[in-house]
Amino acid sequence: MNIEKLSRRLECVYNYIPEGSTMADIGSDHAYLPCYAINHKKASFAIAGEVVEGPYQSAVDQVKRAGLQSKVSVRKGDGLDVLSPGEVDCITIAGMGGALIASILERGKEKLADSKRLVLQPNMGSEHIRSWCLQNGWDIIAEEILEEDGKIYEIIVVERALPAHVSKSLNEMEILMGPFLLEEKNEAFKKKWTQELDQWQSVLNQLDKALNSDEVLNKKKALIERIEAVKEALL
């Protein structure tokens, strides 16, 4: 992967960046995505944010080699701290856990005031992102799930609910599994949730061997309910 050819998951993230955007890529690593977006004229200006010194320096070096210093600003800082309010209209965050992405968005909410779209790619825990969006007036407008190099990734695309527009509600299974992904149920989706069911069944088998305290019984009950709900959703 480089600034000329992205991985499949980053290519999918790139596809959801609106034409002519000003964008910020948080946790940008080598700044591949913002450089690619500039080179392909998808974005007019980009910010590559990194909190760790090594990846930050890699991003700086990459932007210099590409000759894009005037169009890609590499900044060191935690999450959305690298942004000023109203500076970009599209934010991408890829390659982190869903809980971490949700916490980044929560901590930097004031920086999102003028952002129109978020393109988020959690490695796990995507339900944390959907819950945060539901609570903060962002609508999920698209989702994708794909497998690459033996790993399964989800992409969640959200836009701020318009004034006087009530955010779309999600039920428990839509938050857990994704409303659009539930509709499509492609092979990567089925593989992910089959693997999850196997892991949950293993945990349930271990709980069956434990002493039946109230805590254990409650955990078993909740786990059985979730297993049955996911099985039904997969049909």
Which pLDDT does position 167 carry in this prediction? Answer: 59
For position 210, what pLDDT does the model report?
A: 79
- Closest C-alpha to 224, from 200, 195, 190: 200
SS3 (DSSP) at 195: helix
- Residues shown for the chain: 235
Residue 160, φ and ψ in degrees, nearest 5: -65, 135
Runs of H (alpha helix) within the chain: 8-15, 32-39, 53-66, 98-107, 126-135, 172-177, 179-184, 187-208, 214-234
Tokens of 137: 């007036």
Around Cβ 24, how many Cβ atoms within 10 Å?
27
What is the DSSP code (8-state) at residue 80?
G
Instruction: Please identify which residue in the block is written with the tokens 């900044």.
Output: 75
Q: What is the pLDDT of residues 67-93, one digit of tens each?
A: 999 999 999 999 999 999 889 999 999
Six-digit token pair at 178?
């994704």
| C-alpha dist (Å) from residue 223 to 98, 182, 220, 233 | 21, 20, 5, 15
With cut-offs at 50, 70 and 90, classify the pLDDT of residue 188.
very high
Residue 191 pLDDT exceeds 80: yes
**What's the confidence (pLDDT) of residue 131?**
96
Give residue-wise pLDDT tens across range 87-144.
999 999 999 999 999 999 999 999 998 899 999 999 999 999 999 999 999 999 999 9
Q: Is the dihedral of CA 94, 98, 101, 102 positive or negative?
A: positive
Region 48-70 average pLDDT: 96
Residues 6+ apart with CB under 8 A from 77: 49, 51
